[in-house]
Structure 1
Amino acid sequence: MTTVEVARDGVALLYCAIILLVLSWIVFSMRVGVRMWRKAWGMDDYFMLVGTILFSVTAALCIVCCHYGSGQFARELPTVTISKGTKLFYIAEYFYAVSAMFVKISVAVALLRIAVGRRFFTWALWALIGATMVAALVFCIGIANISIEITADFSLSIMPAILLWNVQMKGAVKASVAVMLALASFASCATIVRLKYLTLYSDPGEFMYSTGKIGFWSLTEVGIGLIAGSLPPLRPLLSLRIRVSAGSNTPDASGGQAYQSGINNRQPTSRSRVIAMDTFQTLGDNDEADNSDGDSQKNIIKETKFTVTSVIAGGPRDPGPMAWDRKEGSNV
């Protein structure tokens, strides 16, 4: 048996691969659902689909590498384990490069829709697409041209804010789209951090140890980019409206409405309200405006006060029998 227990940096790599794999498929599945619902499936969705599949292969290979000593020193691993782990990680690196390329192209194609009619940005995006493809090709033949990747990442994260600056949109919509697209800047930071750990490759004898940190930041770069690139298409979900109903006319056992004697009876009424999911409206905030009860006891119970006084017979306040007789006579 050549597999070993996951340890050291391999633990972080294992959990990173599992979490990002699950989150990426959840977000992408929601993206597919929204696109089908709105009948807006486009070329950027095809690119993101390919990127998601390739990223899944990358994450799966990294999970397997964790059981072949990824993130551990050579002295802690059998020679056969190091050999198999090295081979698997090299394969994973190729899938990483290609998946990152498709994810970045998907974001760029989505921005091309916004940049229609703006020639400068259109050409800049096509240039970024070409540079990304070249970087992936160069990486796959053994030379990691990281500067192109970093430039492309930061350009794709900053350009949304520039493109949306003069677009006729509501301020809230413009801000939300810019923020969601700018989340890709975190992937850019992951690329830079990953660059730092590439120096670990300089020691071929500790290749499996270097795969722990390098694999972690490689998955973070592509996984976060994939999730951030799939968030803007989910915005139509925020425009959905839900209907909330509270209370109902519930008859009692005799078939009539429940009531309480001695109380100003008020029949319960059904209440429903349509709430947009893109607002932060709270039930009860507009109770006075819609004549509903914010308080469960408001205007339901009527209080009646009785005052009882004692009069001593023969006392100064005793009206005497004649007074009572006259009062009774007047009521007849």
Structure 2
Amino acid sequence: MNTKGQVRQGDVNLGPGLIGSLVATTTTCIVSVALRFWVRGRLVKAIGWDDWTILLALIGTIIGTALDFVEIHEGFGRPQSYIGQHQLREFRKYTYGEWLQTFATLMFTKISICLFLMRIPTARALIRPLQAAVIGLIVSNLIITVLWIVQCRPLEGAWDSDVKAKCFSRGQLQRIIMAQAVISVVSDFAFAAFPILILWRVQMAVKAKIALCLLMGLGVITGACCIVQTVLNWQSIPKYDYTYGGIDNWFWRLFEVQLGIIAASIPALRPGYKWLTSRVVNLRTGYNGITLLSGKTRDKQTAFENVSSRAKDSISKRSNHWTEIQGEEIILPEYCQIRKTTEVEVERGVVKD
């Protein structure tokens, strides 16, 4: 075993830092999905399949976090030469399971994005590619998962080097991960660009178009994380040190999975943002009205009329706001909804005697 790297760095332990990162990112995922369900259930009153699939992704990443905690307990974050063979075997076992979780979680996240995009009113020609993408994601994930499971015969050979087993080579395992990465990157960038096709012909301000496209194109970030993670997996993990040399790779994989869940939930929170800003405006309106009533230099009747006028405007705005939230405004504002115009021509008959 080559231990030059370990001798130079000594017995360091990055486990506490890994735990802190896990707690922070996993908590953010839980909060973002919880807010998503609150917005969809309380404001929009329309929980859909995209919400349930992102919930499955959240459950998957929570399972992955639990596996990571066990890996850290077994020596992840320390140089491999300073942990025992039993710990190394347990670490590899849970890493084997964590990759299966990663495949499934990424699949559910991307399916959720597809289903979310289907909620935007658009032509059938744009819906069919999304339906095909869902099928493609399911099929490709099943193939990759099966290949990963059967990488060794017997199965224990995947994590126990003492078992005589026939296994895939290191290069073959990397190709499996590479195939998953290609699917992930292509889908991330494709789904990020898809809103441009929908919003291109919508009559709305250019700034609003750009803002919506950026909001719905956050998947580019996870695609970039996947590219970095794949390069690191292919080049930089030393064969002699999995528990310490693979930390950078692990971080980028964590970001890809959990930032994907967060990015998929942010666009669905837009009605909640509009609701919150509406409440703030209403509070400010009420405060201004009270200030007017208490002013000594103004006529009381005039102040009362001003407050009444403001209250009516506030109620009107709130009514319009709720009308928008309960419609297909889930993504587009009311003035940007795509409408179909039908022209009807009526001919009058002439009655002759």
TM-score under structure 1 length normalisation: 0.68
The equivalent position to 2:287 in structure 1, one of 222, 232, 246, is 246
Bigger Rg over Cα: 1
Does structure 1 retain, via aligned residues, the 8 Å contact 2:237–2:246? no
Alignment of 1:126-275 (within 5 A): 126-140=131-145, 141-142=147-148, 143-144=176-177, 145=179, 146-168=181-203, 174-199=209-234, 203-240=238-275, 241-242=278-279, 243-244=282-283, 245-246=286-287, 274=314
Sort the Cα spacing of 1:90 and 1:104 in 2 relative to 1 into closer, same or farther, 3 A.
Answer: same
Which of 46, 62, 75 lines up with 1:56 in the alignment? 62
Unaligned runs of 5+ in 1: 250-256, 278-332
1:60-90 superposed Cα distances (whole Å, 9 cap, x missing partner): 2223322322233211222222121111121
Q: Which has the higher contact order (CA 8 A, sep 6+)?
A: 2
Moved over 6 A (4+): 264-267, 269-273
- 1:17 and 2:52 matched: no
- In structure 1, distance between residues paired with 2:93 and 2:244: 14
SS of residue paired to 2:74: coil
Alignment RMSD, CA only? 3.3
Q: Is the contact between residue 226 and residue 253 of structure 2 (CA under 8 Å) also seen in structure 1?
A: yes
Change (3 A) 1:159 1:199: same
Q: Give, in angstroms, the shift of residue 208 of structure 1.
A: 1.9
Equivalent pairs counted in the alignment come to 261
Q: What does the per-residue CA deviation read over 1:269-324, in whole Å, with 9 as the maximum and x for residues that have no partner?
A: 797875989xxxxxxxxxxxxxxxxxxxxxxxxxxxxxxxxxxxxxxxxxxxxxxx
State the alpha-carbon separation in 2 of the partners of residues 13 and 132 from structure 1.
30
Q: Does 1:81 align with 2:87?
A: yes
Structure showing the higher helix proportion among its residues: 2
Which of 127, 137, 140 is the equivalent residue of 1:122? 127
Q: Report the counterpart of residue 112 of structure 2 in structure 1.
A: 106
Query: Contact 1:55 / 1:99 at 8 angstroms: preserved in 2?
Result: yes
Partners of 2:193 and 2:213 lie apart in 1 by: 9
Segment drifting more, 193-202 vs 152-161: 193-202
Distance 1:139 1:71, change over 3 A: farther
From the superposition, tell whether residues 175 and 40 of structure 1 become closer, same or farther in structure 2 (CA, over 3 Å): farther
Unaligned stretches of 5+ residues in structure 2 = 1-10, 149-175, 319-353
Distance 1:39 1:24 in 2: 22
Percent identity between matched residues is: 24
**Which residue, out of 82, 90, 101, partners 2:96?**
90
